[in-house]
Structure 1
Amino acid sequence: MTQAYVGQEAPFVNRTSNGETREKVVIDSPSTQRYFELDALRVIAFGVLIFYHIGMYYVLEWGWHIKSDVQFPLLQDVMILTNQWRMSLLFLISAMVFTVVLRRAYDNPKSRWRESFLLLWQRALRILIPLLFGMFVIVAPQVYVEWTASGALTMPFSEFYIAYINPNTGLFIDKQSVIGLLTWNHLWFLPYLFVYSAIILLLFPLIRFVEVKELRVLDSLAVFSILAVFIMTAIWLELRAVYPTSHDLLNDWYSHAKYFFVMLVGIVVMLRPALYAEIMNRRYVSLTIAILLYSVIILDRHNMLGPTGELMASSRGFRILVGVIVVLNHWAWLAAILGFGRKYLSSPSRVVNYLNKGILPYYIVHQTIIVMAAFYLSSRVSSTLWEFISISLLTVAGCALTYEIAKRFLVLRFLFGLRLHENKK
């Protein structure tokens, strides 16, 4: 994936005459400034995603592809914590990194359209090819294990696979889409990201108006947060119930509105360095708000705040209040994570650099490994703790091995979305 190089304002520490430190803002060259924290946060976000999916195997009541016989109700509370922001963080970071590349392309009027077309073409190759490869090769075993574990499927994998890639198959008619049984499953993030990126690329000349000096009001985190929460609450109120999350690209309008707006937020943060600095400076405020509102959500889930369900059904004012709480919690976590990342993760790291290059292979294979490992171990390990540790180790090791193998062969580099030529920087 694209690395976060950019030439724009960045903080450095300056000492005053009395020895105190203060942050100043300077302009760096496009070839020297890099946002290392975005690489680190992206690695963390994908790491959270991997362990979230392992948690889905054990969490009580929530449906998933395969479920453990031993399930934990309190695990819901832990997973709800990341539910608020885990996918939004990925879209936010993707938008911020993409903005870095777009600024470089659009800053040269003579080659703007050529660079834009080339950028879109490269993005298509590095997102859509892995998507197709994942659908035809990586996801198939996961689907097979899921239906075998449920007792719905008894045929060998070779026979199932022929039906899986046949758009006219008669197998499991009720589970088919317009392309048959073929599915992108957990890889839905890739087509969504590509579509949003293409739209942003086309609209970027208009979006860049947020850079003008007259819009200094956007540099206030309070003002920006009010605006963001207002729009996100409207999306939550108007679209969430009508278009529940489906990962159907053509009909998933709540998710589209939510995640596309999050990407726009990321663009604005990247185009307004003072706002980014304010997010970092107010990180403890954001974290406090996030923890408080998360606590309210958990208390409600344990029926400790009264008949909120009835009020949701009878009072629009109460629904608006709930929407504001949910959305503000969502935004506060994003702001806090971004702020702490900017403050403490903005230095180069060999570990982050290595993992950042392998994120796409890790993402593509992780859930299939989890499902297959859980299915294999469920009848062979008596201890739930040992089973969890084994699934985690197998998943991490499998992802690492996939990346190590993929990066050594040109064809696999292409199929897994890796750069065809290794960047040594």
Structure 2
Amino acid sequence: MTFTTDNRRYDLDWLRTLAFGLLILYHIGMYYVADWGWHIKSDHTSETLQNLMILTNPWRMSLIFFISAMALALAQRRSQALKLFGLRSNRLLIPLLCGMFIVVVPQVYYEALSQQLIEPGFINFWWHYINPNTALLPEHHSPIGLLTWNHLWFIPYLWCYSVLALLASPVLNMLAKQLQRLPGKVALLTAMATLICAWYFLRQAYPSSHALVDDWYNHAKYFSVFIAGYLFALQGNWWQKVIVYRRWFMLAAMLCYSLIIADRNGLLDSIPASFAESVSGRLIVGVVLALNHWGWILALIGYAGRYLNQPTNKLDKDGSLLHYCNNAILPWYMLHQTLIVVFAAWLKALALPVAIEAVLLIALTCAGCWVGYEIVKRFWLSRWLFGLKVKLPVVNSERASSVTR
């Protein structure tokens, strides 16, 4: 089969769906790990679960930015930059405002409630939350009071990166043509070097904040990944090479992950601290982190390109599952963390065995997202607020024609 980037890439649709599904499981896991702060915490924590979550932690969001940039580059072949700007603005900024004023409020409420910082009463709390001059929880204020985007930080970052890429699209498209003769190895080394420099010079000075304006390490990491994804999508030869060498990328990624876990569990403590803190030691760590990061991303791109680039497969014989996921992914993303926090708070009070609690939390979160999407998609206002096409789809042409008679 001839490799082409001209047709619809079903592998990107599937990979985006799987990445956001993984994000839901990751945020459920955040409830059960002790070392990482989150809105509320279970009384049962697991070190093993935390080690497993470290598997995806370094590259999970980078993969989503990479795929989003690839989709933008491919879409620009069919649409003008101005049209794409309007489309992304409408489908990102409106849901962001909806999320900040409505969806994420229970997360802030239950977090403050679990820390005994407020009295019960959600409506009263919401009025304080939307008031930028509120005196409630002053130590948690931002420049706009208690208002926050919490897990929706990805949306403003994606919008900003998309705008910058669209503004620079003539340069990027010209650069993409010049890069066609560049060996993929050189491109990979350049991407790794960029990530190593960001980690070496910015990680400690600018720890992750997700606040957009001062998050320079994350910008250096995610924006470079975004630009790499944009350029990569336009290089059919690189894409084909990644599919061919997917096993080697997976092997490199697993090796680097093993080293990271070994270090975390003290198996590398015999290395002298003086060497670990030296320039050479830090550069070696940077190489491991960069290879782990890009190894997983390219391995998944490769496996998806090999096995998922078709409209149907054994799990989705008529394509209906992928169609549902493509439409439901943004509402599910907006709703999932709030549902996790709410259901976790309710289940915690029942003091269930942790295995039963975890299964129930996963089931309730998925059921809540499904019900939420089923409600959202039925009304034009909720569709607009959650980033869906406002025009309702015609389910049955015969039924639609009878309505107009």
TM-score after normalising by structure 1 = 0.88
| Partner residue of 1:39 out of 13, 20, 36 | 13
| Partner residue of 1:370 out of 320, 327, 340 | 340
* Distance in 2 between residues matched to 1:178 and 1:312, nearest whole Å: 42
CA change 1:122–1:25 in 2 (3 A) is: closer
Aligned counterpart, 1:51: 25
CA change 1:204–1:312 in 2 (3 A) is: farther
Note the C-alpha offset of 1:233: 0.6
CA change 1:209–1:156 in 2 (3 A) is: same
Q: Provide Cα deviations, 1:265-291, integer angstroms capped at 9, x if missing partner.
A: 111111110100001000000000000
* Distance in 1 between residues matched to 2:45 and 2:277, nearest whole Å: 34
Note the C-alpha offset of 1:42: 0.4
Aligned counterpart, 2:147: 182
Percent identical residues: 44
CA change 1:353–1:118 in 2 (3 A) is: same
* Distance in 2 between residues matched to 1:287 and 1:67, nearest whole Å: 33
1:236 paired with 2:236, answer no
| Partner residue of 1:385 out of 355, 361, 372 | 355
Q: Provide Cα deviations, 1:198-250, integer angstroms capped at 9, x if missing partner.
A: 000000100112332x53443x3322211111111111111111111000110
1:201 paired with 2:163, answer no
| Partner residue of 2:48 out of 47, 50, 74 | 74
Alignment partner of 1:74: what SS?
helix
1:94 paired with 2:68, answer yes
CA change 1:37–1:424 in 2 (3 A) is: farther
CA change 1:412–1:308 in 2 (3 A) is: farther
| Partners of 1:40 and 1:352 within 8 A in 2 | yes
* Distance in 1 between residues matched to 2:234 and 2:272, nearest whole Å: 41
* Distance in 2 between residues matched to 1:308 and 1:193, nearest whole Å: 40
Q: Quick one: which amino acid aligns to residue 421 of structure 1?
A: K
1:215 paired with 2:179, answer yes
* Distance in 2 between residues matched to 1:390 and 1:201, nearest whole Å: 43
Q: Quick one: which amino acid aligns to residue 411 of structure 1?
A: L
1:126 paired with 2:96, answer no
| Partners of 2:70 and 2:230 within 8 A in 1 | yes
* Distance in 2 between residues matched to 1:121 and 1:395, nearest whole Å: 32
Q: Provide Cα deviations, 1:296-354, integer angstroms capped at 9, x if missing partner.
A: 00000011112558347630111111011101110000000000000011111321221
Q: Which runs of 4+ in 1 moved over 6 A?
A: none
| Partners of 2:33 and 2:45 within 8 A in 1 | yes
**Structure possessing the higher relative contact order (Cα contacts under 8 Å, 6 or more residues apart):** 2
| Number of aligned residue pairs | 388
Superposition map of 1:307-322 within 5 A? 307=270, 310-311=273-274, 314-322=277-285
Q: Provide Cα deviations, 1:79-100, integer angstroms capped at 9, x if missing partner.
A: 0001021100110110000111
| Partner residue of 2:288 out of 308, 325, 333 | 325
| Partner residue of 2:130 out of 165, 173, 183 | 165
* Distance in 2 between residues matched to 1:306 and 1:387, nearest whole Å: 36
Superposition map of 1:137-152 within 5 A? 137-152=102-117
| Partner residue of 1:251 out of 186, 203, 214 | 214
Aligned counterpart, 2:388: 418
| Partner residue of 1:265 out of 213, 221, 228 | 228
Note the C-alpha offset of 1:379: 1.5
Q: Higher mean Cα deviation, 409-418 or 202-211?
A: 202-211
| Partners of 1:89 and 1:334 within 8 A in 2 | yes
Unaligned runs of 5+ in 1: 1-11, 13-23, 106-114
Note the C-alpha offset of 1:61: 1.9
* Distance in 2 between residues matched to 1:423 and 1:197, nearest whole Å: 27
* Distance in 1 between residues matched to 2:248 and 2:198, nearest whole Å: 25
Aligned counterpart, 1:18: none
Aligned counterpart, 2:248: 285
Aligned counterpart, 2:190: 227
Q: Higher mean Cα deviation, 398-407 or 306-315?
A: 306-315
| Partners of 2:3 and 2:240 within 8 A in 1 | no
Aligned counterpart, 2:304: 341
TM-score after normalising by structure 2 = 0.92
Note the C-alpha offset of 1:73: 1.1
Alignment partner of 1:58: what SS?
coil
| Partners of 1:54 and 1:392 within 8 A in 2 | yes
